[in-house]
């Protein structure tokens, strides 16, 4: 049975109950069928995985599961014991079974045992017993399967490996031969998550998935981090579901997206995934994206009147995909480069064109502060503040250049002062090491 839907599986503040209900509404309306609850920062998910929920949390979770079921969706619960589990310890096994039983009692449709983002250590005794980390982890999941099914016939058990993408396997994470050992040891009915060639995969090909399926001895379930933004606080990902051919759907046992931490910014991720899953024949991510963006537009009403569709395209192109800006943002960047650095006879033309577009986008960022949907504004606020600051500086720089006769760029801004602008420890560390397009870093000599 193919699973399609959403993973609440990122780092950072978990969604609120109201946001989860809104996610369920969207999923039901758009034909997505599965929600996996596993926010990294629910303490009971990872840090204190042995401790059952208290009465108040149980009531909240039970109501959430009911709300999910009321929309006809499947509710899976994820638990991540890998930070400190002792694989061979019967008490740890019992703790895990007790957690599973508590969640099954309140109605979950399946349990996901997640071993991602943990040290790939295993103690000597466990290694001697199972021969590998993969063998030990598979044994934990295999032991759960009959218990889960005895409690809830038909419930699913899913598994996230410690190396969960091609790059990790190539680096030997989890130990040599991890995937093959897992494929051989894990019960055939247990589904396995996989994120593609990378943790955040710009592209995922059919050949890649077929190779992983062979090694795992089952088609994986794609845990897609394309729209996740928890690894970079300055960005949100509003682009289309892209970089996956339609034929990929036939190579996997499901596709679940783990999107932006801020739920109000996940409309495009969920909507374009749902369009991809239903597409016939060809998949044009940009066309699907433009259609989805039109659906999202009504959410952008401000107290000062509506945002135009074309404005929203420009804004969303600045927050597109992890490895790709949208075309309007690329055009703006190219124009900004010419406006500041071109030395040909036409630099003034470029500078004037750049001023128009940059000013428009800067002012749009300002106008968004009066969005009527305040949670949407709050989710965007810090990011568009950042963008606005940079656009404001760009406008000042271009204006300063236009005021010269020789086109040099050297100016000061009273609104971009040393230390308060681009200051702080993280920003200063960023300036110390410069990364080049091939990935290598060199030291920036001051």
Q: What dihedral do alpha carbons 223, 19, 314, 293 form, nearest 10°?
A: 80
**Nearest CB to ligand GDL, comparing residues 182 and 339:** 182
Q: Which stretch binds ligand GDL (CB under 6 A): 88-96, 214-222, 225-233, 291-299?
A: 225-233
List the beta bridge partners of residue 34. 5, 74
Min dist. Cβ of residue 159 to ligand GDL (A): 11
Min dist. Cβ of residue 218 to ligand GDL (A): 17
The SS3 assignment for 172 reads coil
Q: Does the active-site annotation cover 363?
A: no
**Nearest CB to ligand GDL, comparing residues 43 and 59:** 43
Task: Decide: is 34 part of the binding site for ligand GDL (CB under 6 A).
Answer: no
Please answer whether residues 272 and 285 qualify as being in contact, where contact means their C-beta atoms are separated by less than 8 angstroms.
yes
**Nearest CB to ligand GDL, comparing residues 252 and 293:** 252
Please answer whether residues 360 and 314 qualify as being in contact, where contact means their C-beta atoms are separated by less than 8 angstroms.
yes
The residue within the footprint of ligand GDL, chosen from 159, 164, 178, 319 (CB under 6 A), is 164
**Angle at the Cα of 336 (from 332 to 341), degrees rounded to 5?**
150
User: According to CB under 6 A, which residues from 168 to 207 bind ligand GDL?
Assistant: 195, 199
Active-site residue, selected from the candidate residues 33, 41, 92, 117: 117
| CA 206 vs CA 87, 284, 362: distances in Å | 34, 17, 41
The residue within the footprint of ligand GDL, chosen from 137, 225, 257, 260 (CB under 6 A), is 225
CA 205 to CA 400: how far, in whole Å?
Answer: 48
State phi, psi for 10 to the nearest 5 degrees: -95, 170
* Backbone angle region of 196, left / alpha / beta, with phi > 0 → left and psi within -120 to 50 → alpha: left
Tokens of 30: 């758009």
User: According to CB under 6 A, which residues from 85 to 144 bind ligand GDL?
Assistant: 116-117
Min dist. Cβ of residue 40 to ligand GDL (A): 5
Tokens of 125: 């005794």
**Nearest CB to ligand GDL, comparing residues 11 and 441:** 11
Interface with ligand GDL (CB under 6 A): 9-11, 40, 116-117, 160, 164, 195, 199, 223, 225, 228, 230-231, 258
Give me the active site residues, please: 117
């Amino acid at each position: 049975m193919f699973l399609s839907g959403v993973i609440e599986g990122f780092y950072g503040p978990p969604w609120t109950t109201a946001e989860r209900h809104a996610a369920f509404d969207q999923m039901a309306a758009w034909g997505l069928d599965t929600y996996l609850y596993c926010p990294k920062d629910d303490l009971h998910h990872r840090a204190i995985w042995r401790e059952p929920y208290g009465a108040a949390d149980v009531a909240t979770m039970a109501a959430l599961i009911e709300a999910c079921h009321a929309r006809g969706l499947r509710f899976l619960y994820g638990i991540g014991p890998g930070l400190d589990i002792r694989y061979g310890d019967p008490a740890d096994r019992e703790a895990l079974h007790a957690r599973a039983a508590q969640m099954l009692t309140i109605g979950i449709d399946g349990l996901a045992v997640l071993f991602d983002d943990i040290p790939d250590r295993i103690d000597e005794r466990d290694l001697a017993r199972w021969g590998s980390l993969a063998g030990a982890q598979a044994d934990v999941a295999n032991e759960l399967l009959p218990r889960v099914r005895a409690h809830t016939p038909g419930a699913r058990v899913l598994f996230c490996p410690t190396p969960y993408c091609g790059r990790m396997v190539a680096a030997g994470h989890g130990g040599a031969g991890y995937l093959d050992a897992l494929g051989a040891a894990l019960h055939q009915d247990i589904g396995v998550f996989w994120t593609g060639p990378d943790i955040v995969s710009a592209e995922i090909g059919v050949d890649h998935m077929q190779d992983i399926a062979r090694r795992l001895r089952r088609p994986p379930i794609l845990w897609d981090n394309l729209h996740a933004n928890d690894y970079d606080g300055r960005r949100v990902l509003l682009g289309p579901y892209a970089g996956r051919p339609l034929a990929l759907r036939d190579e996997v046992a499901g596709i679940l997206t783990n999107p932006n931490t801020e739920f109000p910014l996940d409309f495009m991720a969920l909507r374009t995934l749902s369009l991809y899953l239903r597409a016939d024949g060809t998949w044009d991510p940009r066309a699907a994206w433009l259609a989805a963006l039109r659906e999202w537009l009504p959410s952008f009403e401000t107290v000062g009147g509506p945002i135009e569709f074309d404005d929203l395209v420009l804004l969303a192109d600045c927050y597109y995909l992890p490895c790709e800006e949208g075309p309007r943002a690329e055009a703006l960047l190219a124009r900004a480069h010419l406006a500041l650095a071109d030395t040909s006879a036409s630099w003034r033309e470029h500078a004037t064109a750049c001023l128009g577009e940059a000013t428009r986008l800067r002012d749009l960022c300002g106008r968004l502060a009066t969005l009527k949907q305040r949670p949407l504004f709050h989710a965007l606020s810090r990011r568009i503040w950042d963008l606005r600051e940079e656009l404001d500086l760009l406008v000042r720089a271009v204006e300063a250049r236009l005021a010269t006769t020789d086109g040099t760029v050297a100016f000061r801004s009273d609104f971009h002062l040393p230390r308060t602008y681009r200051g702080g420890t993280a920003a200063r560390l960023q300036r110390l090491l410069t990364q080049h397009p091939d990935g290598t870093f060199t030291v920036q000599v001051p």
